[in-house]
Every structure is written in C-alpha cells, then in structure tokens.
Structure 1
Amino acid sequence: MTRQEDAAMPDDLQDESLSDLFDERSRLLAMAFRILGSRADAEDAVQDTYARWYRMTDEERAAVRVPAAWLTTALGRVSLNMLGSARHRREQYVGQWLPEPTAARGAGPGTVAGAPGPVDPADRVTLDDEVSMALMVVLESLTPAERVVFVLHDVFRLPFDEIAGIVGRTTQACRTLASSARRHIADRRSGDADPEQQRRVVGSFWAAARSGDLAALVGLLDPHATATSDGGGHVRAALRVVAGADRVARFLLGALGKSDDLVAELENDGAEPQLVIRRGDMVVGVGSFHVVGERVADIWLVLNPEKLRTWNPES
C-alpha cells in the first residue's frame, strides 16, 4: 500500500489495520518469553520485530499477505539471534541464573499478582498452564535451535516448513530438532507430580517450613534435592546451588528467619504454587518448586529485582 493509498483510506480502516497489527503484541511477547526466558529480552525482541516491520517501505508492507505470519517469522529470527548473545551474558552473570517467575493470572485481567493497579493487557506476557518454572529451566538446557523449533511448533503449532525458513534448516532437520527437544524434556521431567499432587506436597512442605520443623522438611525433600537462588548481583543470594535434603532444609529455614520485615506466603492462584516474599507492598522474592513423586526435588528462588518487575509494576 502506498502513502497516497494509505492517506485515501478511511480513518476507521486505518485504525482497524493498526489495531490488528498491535493485537499480535501479546502473542509475540508470550512466544519470545518462552524462547528467551526473560521478559526484558522478550520485550526487546518484540520491539525489534515491529521496528523491522516499519523499516520496510509501504510497497514492501503491502506485499505481505498475512502480517501476523510475517511478524512471527521475524520474531523467531530475532529471538534465535538473541539466544546466542543472551547465553554469553549469562556466562558473566553473578551467581546462578534463573528464568523469570511468571506473575499469577489469578490476579485477574489487567492486573499483576502481588501488586495493585491496572496494567495494560497488551503489556503482559500471556502464559498458559504449560509454562512453569520447571519447564522454563529445562528449556534453558536445550540448544538455541532446539528451543526455537520446540516453542514454535509444539507450543504455537507452526508447521515445520515455516519454521525451517526461520532457523535456516531443512524441514526434516526441524523435525529432528523438535524430536530431540521432546526427548530431552521428557527425560528431565519424568516422574513429575501432576498439578494437584504438586499443590498438596508443596502445601505440606510450606507448613513444615513455617513451623520450623527441620525433620519434617527433610522428610519432604528428595535426598538429592537442590535449592537455587538468583540475586543477579543486586541482592544477597547463594552463589552456588545448595544440594542435599539436609542442607536445603537448613538453607531455607535460615533464609526465612533472616529478617523480621519479610512476609512469605504460599500462593496457589497461578499455574503452579509459588512462594511470594514481600517487604511491605514490594515483592522481593518468588520461589518455585519442582515436585517428583511425593517429594520436593528442586527449589528455585528468584530475588533479582530486575526479574520481579511484573510483580512490582509501580516500581
């Protein structure tokens, strides 16, 4: 469409076209977040994608039959490129790196869990029940190509022939990458508790933690349990993974008892139970749990304030 043709269009049609284009933003954010594991990186990827769209000429944009498909393709390529640089940055990261915890959807449309006030729905990463911290951690162990192919095909249902053009591989190679990613995820998550079982086990675990019952805590932890905390160099956190049921239990009880001005609550209104730690109205930590069978196998505690911005939009 040329500038003259665009100018000749009724305003309501122009507004409708722009509205349709930006209606894709929430979906693109969700896609980028799954690929990159960081809201800030996801927002950068989406912004770059729209910038590429508007850098095209009017004639080039008019030649795009399905803008949503073009945006998806562009986002996939941008995200794949960003994965390499993001992983390099994480090698320089202070302490352990964890994906960002997702704010619970139970807070209702247009709000962010743990923080009052409306938030533009287009500015939220929309997630479904398949997105848990356990899955995001496993996705981090995939190769960049495996991760992009898995997210685009298995989560967003893009056909392999379209994905091939995004990752620069053949269609068959993309099928192989997706199959490899599925096997890896299945191996890493074999024995995972179902949602109801997870809530029950985590509830019992948190009750033991609140009472300070070390023996009960140890009994609810897998013997090889781990606790990983991510402060990103901004706040104090364990620089190494804490391993072993007894050490994890003592670490958790010690962390919870360090400050009198912290309030920790187990919240179950999202896709998974999360331990939300607040100082006043500010969320300063979010803990997630990986349950295998009847025991907690992993605890992931995000303390980095940069990763808690969706929980504290006012900040």
Structure 2
Amino acid sequence: MSSASTDTLAERFEESRGHLRAVAYRMLGSLSEAEDAVQETWLRLQRSDISAVENLGGWLTTVTGRICLDLLRSRKARGEEPLETHVPDPLVTSLDTLDPEQQALQADSVGLALLVVLDSLAPVERLAFVLHDLFAVPFDDIAPIVERTPAATRQLASRARRRVQGAPPPETDPARQREIVEAFLSAAREGDFERLVAVLDPDVLLRADAGATGLSRLVRGAHTVASGAITFQRMAPHVRVVLVNGAIGLLALPEGRPASLMSFTITGAKITELNILSDEDRLKTLTRAAL
C-alpha cells in the first residue's frame, strides 16, 4: 500500500474513531480496553482488502464488535466475570471545563447503571443489543458476528432489552438531579439519618467497588444504606460535584487526591441506585479529565 493511500485510509479511520470508541466502551465497560479494541480495528483495516467495501463505517463497526465479543468471551474463559460489586469505568468530567471532545463524549454517554446491567448479559446478547439498539446496526449485519440467523440474533437483542428495560426510566434533567444529589450531600454532611432515608428509594441499591482491597460490597434498602452515613459524613466536606456519564455525581478529594466517586440513578425524585468506585488506582486515571 502506498504512503498516499495509507494516509487516506488513516484519515477515513480517524473520522470513525469516536464512533468506534463509543461502540467498544458500551461493549466492554472499560475505557482502556475500548482504546485497545479500536487500535486493533485499525491494524485489521491496514491488513484488509477493502476495495469491495461500500460502507467503510459499517465495516469498521462490525469489526470492532467482533473484537469486543472476542474480549468478552476471553474474560469468561479466564473466569473474569465481573463480580456483583464491579463498577464499570465511568466517564468523569468537570461541570465547567468540558472541552469539545469531552462534551461529545458526555452528550453520547450512557448511564453507569446501564453499563452495570450490560455487564450481566451474555457476550452475544450484549453485542446484539449494543449494535442494534444503541447503534442501529441491522440484524443481518450482526448475525454473522454471533454465528446465528438474523431471527435468532433478534431474539438475543430482545432478551437483553428485557433486562435493560426492567427498571423505570431515570431522571435526566440535570437541575433536578443536582437538587436531589445536593439534598443527599447536605443530609450526609450533617449525619441526618432521617433526611438521608427520605431522599433514598426504599429499595435503593448501593454498589461499592474498592478494587483489590477486598472491601467491595452490595447493600440494598434505604435504612441499611443510610446506616452507612458515617462514611458519607467523613467524605462530604471534600466532595466536588462532577458529571459521571452525563449525570450529576460526586468526587471525593481528601488532600486533593481522588478517593471515591459516587454516581446516582434517580427515579421519581428518589435515589434508586448508588455506584461508588473507591479503587484509587483506577480513579487516578479515570478522574484526570475532571481535575
């Protein structure tokens, strides 16, 4: 391949890079693995004869999907299924310092709670749902990747959709989100148990991912979650309001170092899910854009 044609191919690939990163992130829930998948797509493009390819963007999307499916299957084969307390990589940005690339990522982001649900799907279900429902790839194009008929592929997406749509739609108004999150924060600062319970849904789920420390946990119920108020109270003076996958969240920065990140799912003016990431090694990288 000549230098000129390589340059042209690189330009066309760069036009699709953001889209491919979005596909891979939703498939893998890991920003670093998503970048690796996109890079592998570029390498495969360089090695392929695409002279007969009419829709390069579609070809790249399906190649990225196939790479991600292989990665998900590899995780399963190695026994690396995410634990119930695993929190996928969040997209964390400051409320007031979004650059154009970050704005595009946030505008196109999916909630962290959705990524948690996607983690629970079988790899082929996740692929069918992500490519079809989130990126409008036809089932006829997805079927060869999962080695099923288009009708069977449609069923995979349907099963995944039922899991994803099992919960009521979350609050999407940032002002309303912030009002409820700040009510939670105020009650936490003051150690006010009753006010904490009042802002939590009775069946609220708290998922805390502490990484290799072994202190991860899964807690359900407003009173049980509020009973951990002493933890919130200790962190409350050090928090900064940030965007987590496009929704209002809280980043705790004692001594200026990221110690925990909290994302909220809000439904009907109540907090229905809290995802807390306190794995400091991951936080150092993931919160860089917000700092």
Report the TM range for the smaller structure's normalisation.
0.7 to 0.9
Contact 2:92/2:243, CA 8 A, preserved across alignment = no
Matched residue, 1:301: 276
Partner of 1:72 in structure 2?
61
RMSD: 3.0
- 302 and 237 in structure 1: CA distance in 2 versus 1, 3 angstrom threshold: farther
What residue number does 2:17 align with? 25
Code of the aligned partner of 2:206: A
Change (3 A) 1:165 1:30: same
* The one of 89, 98, 108 aligned to 2:87: 98
Identity of aligned residues (%): 33
Name the residue aligned to 1:244: 221
- Residue aligning to 2:239: 264
- Residues in 2 aligned to 1:111 and 1:126: alpha-carbon distance in whole angstroms: 6
In the alignment, which residue of structure 1 is the partner of 2:38?
Answer: 46
> Deviations 1:213-265 (Å, cap 9, x if unpaired)?
111101222223222111211xx56332123322211324325417x9x7112
- Is the alpha carbon distance of 1:306 and 1:164 closer, same or farther for their aligned partners in structure 2, counting shifts above 3 Å? farther
User: Mapping of 1:9-158 within 5 angstroms?
Assistant: 9=4, 15-56=7-48, 60-87=49-76, 88-91=78-81, 96-104=85-93, 106=95, 107-109=97-99, 126-128=105-107, 131-158=110-137
Contact kept, 8 Å, 1:221 with 1:295, in 2: the verdict is yes
Matches within 5 A, 1:169-184: 169-184=148-163
Q: Is the 8 A contact 2:187 2:193 kept in 1?
A: yes
Distance 1:279 1:75 in 2: 39
1:228 counterpart letter in structure 2: R
Partners in 1 of 2:59 and 2:228 — Cα distance? Answer: 48
Q: Which amino acid aligns with 2:287?
A: W
Measure how far apart 1:181 and its partner are.
Answer: 2.0
Q: Is the 8 A contact 1:77 1:166 kept in 2?
A: yes
Contact 1:27 1:126 in 2 (8 A): no
What's the CA shift for 1:266?
A: 2.7
Alpha-carbon separation, structure 1, partners of 2:170 and 2:100? 31
In the superposition, the TM-score normalised over structure 1's length comes to: 0.79
Write the letter of the residue equivalent to 1:100: D
SS in 2 for 1:62: coil
| 1:274–1:27 distance in 2 versus 1, CA, 3 Å | same
Residue 284 of structure 1 pairs with residue 259 of structure 2: yes
In structure 2, how many angstroms separate the alpha carbons of the residues matched to 1:20 and 1:292? 41
**Which residue of structure 2 lines up, in the alignment, with residue 231 of structure 1?**
210
CA drift at 1:268: 5.3
Gaps of at least 5 residues in structure 1 are 113-120
One-letter amino acid of the structure 1 residue matched with residue 219 of structure 2: V
Is the CA contact 2:109–2:245 (under 8 Å) kept in the aligned structure 1?
no
* Kept in 2: contact 1:274–1:289 (CA 8 A): yes
| Structure 2, unaligned runs of 5 or more | none
Q: Distance in 1 between matches of 2:233 and 2:27?
A: 32
Contact 1:225/1:245 (<8 A) preserved: yes
- Equivalent pairs counted in the alignment come to 287
CA separation of 1:69/1:105 partners in 2, compared to 1, >3 Å: closer, same or farther?
A: farther
The residue number in structure 2 matching 1:310 is 286
Paired residues of 1:226 and 1:298 also in contact (CA < 8 A):
yes
Are the equivalent residues in 2 in contact too, given 1:30–1:127 (CA < 8 A)? no
Cα distance change, pair 194–54 in 1 and its aligned pair in 2 (3 A): closer
**How far apart, CA to CA, are the structure 1 residues paired with 2:270 and 2:149?**
42
Structure 2 residue corresponding to 1:195, chosen from 161, 173, 180 = 173
